[in-house]
Chains A and B, each alone.
Chain A
Amino acid sequence: MEYKIGIDVGGTFTDFLLTSEDGPSEVYKVLSTPDDPAVGLLNGLSEMAQAKQLSLNEFIDKVTAIVHGTTVTTNAVLTRKGAKTGLLTTKGLRDALEMRRGIREKQYDNRYTNVEPLVPRYLRYPVEERLDYKGETVVDLKEQDVLDAVELFREEDVRAIAVCFMNSFANPAHEARAAEIIKEKLPDAYLTVSAGFLPSIRFYDRISTTVLNSYVGPKLKSYLVSLVKKLEDIGFKGILLIMQSNGGVISPRFAMENAAVTLLSGPAAGPVAGIEYTSIHGYNNCITVDMGGTSFDAALIKNRTPLTTTEGEIERLRIALPMLGIVTIGAGGGSIGWVDEGGLLRMGPQSAGSKPGPACYGLGGRLPTCTDADLILGYLDKDFFAGGKIPLDYDGAVTAVKENIAGKLNMDVVEAAAGMYRVINVNMAAGVREVSVKRGEDPREFPLVVAGGAGPVHACMIARELEIPVMIVPKESSIFCAAGMLMSDLKHNFVRTYTAPLNKIDKDKFIAMFDEMEKEASALLREEHIPENAFRFVYSLDMRYLKQYHELNVAITKEEIKKGDIDSIAAKFHPEHSRLYGYSLEEQGTPIELINIRLLSIGETVKPRFIEEDYDGEDPSGAFKKKRNAWLPLERRFEEVPVYDGAAIRYGNKVEGPAIIEQVNTTTFVTPEYSVLCDKYGSYTMYLKTKENEIKGKLL
Chain B
Amino acid sequence: MKIDKILVSVFQRRFKSITEEMSIVLTRTTRSPILCEAKDFVTGLYDAKGKMLEQTENLPILSFSLGPVCEYIVDYFGEEIYPGDVIFHNDVFSMGNQNNDVAVYKPIFYKDKLVAWAAAKGHQADIGGAVAGGYNPRATEVWQEALRIPPVKVYEKGKLRKDVWDLIFANIRFDIVAADMRAQIGSCVVGERGILTLVEKYGIDVFESHKQYLFDSTEKMMRSEIKTIPNGVYRGEASVYYDGRTPGSKYKIRVKITVEDEHITFDYSDTDPQTPGFVNGTYTSSASATLLTFLQMVNPDIPHNDGMVRPVKIIIPEGTILNAKYPAATTFGNHLCPPNADAVMRALSRAIPKRITAGWNQLLCYLTTGFDLRKKDNYVDIGFIGLKGGSGGTDGVDGYDHIGMIDASGGVLDQDYEMFEQQTPHLLLKHEYWKDSAGAGQWRGGLGVETEFKIGGDKTKVVTFGDGDVEPAFGLFGGKDSTLNKIELRYPDGKVYTATTKDLVEAVPEGTVLFQQAGGGGGYGHPHLRNAEKVALEVRNGIIGIDRAKELYGVVVDPENFTVNINKTKQLRSNEPTK
Contacts and interface: CB of A to CB of B under 8 A. Distances in A.
A167 B429 CA distance: 13
Interface string A331-352: 0000000001111111000000
Contact of A342 (B189, B221, B295, B413): B221
A201 B418 contact: yes
Interface stretch (A89-97, A221-229, A253-261, A446-454): A89-97
A110 B431 contact: no
B416 A585 contact: no
Contacts of A342: 217-218, 220-221, 224, 302
Interface in A663-688: none
B27 interface: yes
Nearest to B186: A582
Contact of B33 (A346, A423, A437, A549): A549
Contact of A111 (B6, B30, B396, B418): B396
Contacts of B373: none
Nearest to A577: B29
A340 B301 CA distance: 9
B454 to A, nearest CB: 9
B427 A132 contact: yes
Contacts of A585: 179
Given A344-B9, A549-B419, 5 more contacts: A107-B410, A204-B417, A419-B6, A581-B186, A583-B29
Interface stretch (A28-36, A98-106, A232-240, A366-374): A98-106
Interface string B381-411: 0001000100100101110111110001111
Interface stretch (A10-18, A427-435, A610-618, A649-657): A427-435
A430 B18 CA distance: 10
Interface string B357-368: 100000000000
A108 B295 contact: yes
23 contacts: A93-B428, A93-B430, A95-B433, A101-B416, A102-B384, A102-B402, A102-B404, A104-B411, A107-B409, A107-B411, A108-B296, A110-B296, A114-B401, A133-B418, A341-B220, A342-B218, A343-B5, A419-B6, A422-B6, A434-B17, A547-B176, A550-B29, A583-B182
Nearest to A94: B432
A108 B409 contact: yes
B410 A102 contact: yes
Contacts of B541: 120-122
Interface of A: 92-96, 98-99, 101-114, 120-122, 130, 132-133, 138, 166-167, 169, 201-205, 340-346, 409, 419, 422-423, 426-427, 430, 433-434, 437-438, 499, 545, 547-550, 552, 577, 580-583, 585, 590
B31 interface: yes
B302 to A, nearest CB: 8
B37 interface: yes
Interface string B221-245: 1001100000000000000000000
A345 B402 CA distance: 37
A202 B419 contact: yes
B522 to A, nearest CB: 13
Contacts of B357: 110
Contact of A167 (B396, B397, B418): B418
B397 A103 contact: no
B25 A581 contact: yes
B257 to A, nearest CB: 18
A548 B30 contact: yes
B461 to A, nearest CB: 20
B112 to A, nearest CB: 23
Contacts of A344: 5, 8-9, 12, 217
A99 B396 CA distance: 21
A132 B410 CA distance: 29
Interface in B191-239: 194, 217-218, 220-221, 224-225
Contacts of A132: 421, 427
Contacts of A107: 57, 60, 408-411
A95 B413 CA distance: 15
A96 B182 CA distance: 33
A423 B6 contact: yes
A427 B6 CA distance: 12
B183 interface: yes
Contact of B221 (A96, A103, A341, A434): A341
A434 B421 CA distance: 34
B360 to A, nearest CB: 10
Nearest to A547: B31
Nearest to B189: A582
B10 interface: yes
A110 B397 contact: yes
Nearest to B411: A107
A111 B221 contact: no
B248 interface: no
A95 B432 contact: yes
List of 7 A-B pairs having minimum Cβ-Cβ separation, nearest first? A104-B410, A342-B221, A121-B541, A92-B430, A549-B36, A107-B409, A582-B186
B543 interface: yes
Nearest to A465: B10
Contact of A102 (B57, B413, B427): B413
B30 A549 contact: yes
A122 B562 CA distance: 11
B430 A426 contact: no
Contacts of B427: 130, 132, 138
Nearest to B176: A547
Contacts of B299: 341
A113 B33 contact: no
A138 B511 CA distance: 13
B410 A103 contact: yes
A169 B60 CA distance: 35
Interface string B106-129: 000000000000000000000000
B412 interface: yes
